[in-house]
Amino acid sequence: MSRRAPAPRRFPTVTHFDLTDVAAHASGSSSLTGIQRVQLECLRTLVANDRRCGDVFANLHGFDVDLRPLFAGPAPASAEALFLQMRRLFAEDAGAARTSAKLARSVAKHATRFRGAAARLRREVVGPRFGPGDRLFVGGAFWAHPRCVSAYESAARAGCEVVVLFHDVFPLTVPDLADENCRPLYERMLRLRSRALTVSQHSRDQIERVRREIGAEMDLPPAMVTPLAHEFSQTPRNFVGGESPTARLAALEPTGPFVLCVGTVEPRKNQLALIGLWERLSSTMGSDWPRLVVAGKVGWRADEVVQALRRHDPAGPCVWIETPTDEELAWLYARARFTVFPSLAEGWGLPIGESLWFGKPCVASNVDSMPEVGGDLCLYADPRDIDSFAGPIVRLVRDEDFYRGAVASIRAAPLRTWKEAAEGLIRAASLPSGERGASLLPAAGSAIGRRRRGRAVDR
């Protein structure tokens, strides 16, 4: 009897990750923003532990640099450390396009910094290198890279499954708070036949509405929700902090308690209105009123906010910690009495979750995704009416019993880690086609998803 030929062995499709936007950001900036942090935090977990994770690469000038060695080992470096290693590789590339020879020399020069592994330079122009059977994950700021968007379109036409994580669609929904020049690239990506992921139910609703408005194909699979984390990476929950890590933070200690506002300094984050409110509260509530510490780097159209922050003397009611490191942020969260996050628009809202991770109450905006991040653990107010923040702020400062109850509730609540967020992301990217469109929100017992619409919480 003849032997039956063995069936061909089937290998699961792996997902390749494009970090071009992280590399581009690293080439011109010394600190992370939320979008780069999300990608690096997730890949820290996935590359080491998940076989579904394939290549990790960046392509700035038509040449793919393999970044997977950065993530090698059972305990990869922190997101901040990974970013700084990428900065050492790509910073020399800022300003003008380089020849392939110069880029190759730059890679060779800094390769030893990649955990001793040689960074391989694959000399390929970005194009339809991905085809049938491939899956390409795009999780960053595609709207800043027209060449990349063209590459994703070519890959999709060639049969590659393109997975896009949309953090938000602000250029189409709140154009006064975003760069309108990004709108054409957003529209191209929203029309792309891809698997769309997003980080909140609010963002999913916005994506589906905008797709209809721009005339995207009606049979595109609905966006899937895969929430981000509360965790502040490599810091234990309810961390209390120790000695101030830098001189500028040490200067805060003698001045008494403070309230923290974390976020890029720009109009969308609404720090200007919060500064005005804090000045009024400071002048009316007495000499023991806590200071406001604003921690963040300068962002888009920030001149007016920066002027407001710089007009305060070191002993004034508002202090600016510009471009804080992760070590400084951890100390600020740990030492703050509570946090305030009055943003006008968010796709998620990392500082809300980070505040909870440290056991600190947060007075957050009651719009967009922010109630999804904080659930019943936060207090909420209307960012378009900054005076509505005064009530919950004053209560957290003056009502000690209320404050202690809020802290106790937060410390006992289940919160989401970056490991859980990364696993949700790769699971969503890897689902069979027939399962697309399902929500991957956590169960209702978690802090995420208990509240879709914000109200001021009266505990």
Helix (H, G, I), strand (E, B) or coil at 181: helix
Residues of the chain with pLDDT under 70: 1-12, 92-128, 433-459
Helix (H, G, I), strand (E, B) or coil at 244: coil
Mention every residue, 6+ apart, whose C-beta is less than 8 A from residue 348: 34, 167, 199, 200, 203, 227, 228, 369, 373
DSSP state of 298: B
Measured distance CA(141)–CA(25) in Å, rounded: 9
Architecture of domain 247-412: 3-Layer(aba) Sandwich (3.40)
At 408, which helix (H) or strand (E)?
helix 400-412
Question: pLDDT tens digits, residue range 271-315?
Answer: 999 999 999 999 999 999 999 999 999 998 999 999 999 988 777
**How large is the angle between the packed helices 79-90 and 20-28, nearest 10 degrees?**
70
Measured distance CA(378)–CA(366) in Å, rounded: 10
pLDDT of residue 314: 75
Measured distance CA(299)–CA(263) in Å, rounded: 9
pLDDT of residue 193: 94
Measured distance CA(132)–CA(457) in Å, rounded: 51
Count other C-beta atoms under 10 Å from residue 182's C-beta: 17
List the chain domain ranges: 15-225, 247-412
Structure tokens at 49: 């532990």
Check: CB of residue 364 under 8 Å from CB of residue 389: no
Q: For residue 94, which phi and psi values (nearest 5 degrees)?
A: -70, 150
User: Which residue(s) pair with 225 in the sheet?
Assistant: 198
Please state the length of the chain.
459
C-alpha separations of 269 from 257, 341, 455 in Å: 23, 8, 19
List the one residue out of 353, 413, 333, 331 whose CA is nearest residue 38: 353
pLDDT of residue 439: 55
pLDDT of residue 440: 53
At 16, which helix (H) or strand (E)?
strand 15-18
Q: What is the per-residue DSSP string for 72-123?
A: -SSSPPPHHHHHHHHHHHHGGG-SS---HHHHHHHHHHHGGGTTTPPPPEE-
Check: CB of residue 265 under 8 Å from CB of residue 306: yes
pLDDT of residue 312: 80
Check: CB of residue 190 under 8 Å from CB of residue 211: yes
pTM: 0.88
Measured distance CA(444)–CA(167) in Å, rounded: 22
Mention every residue, 6+ apart, whose C-beta is less than 8 A from residue 283: none
Measured distance CA(420)–CA(231) in Å, rounded: 10
Dmax (CA) of the chain: 96
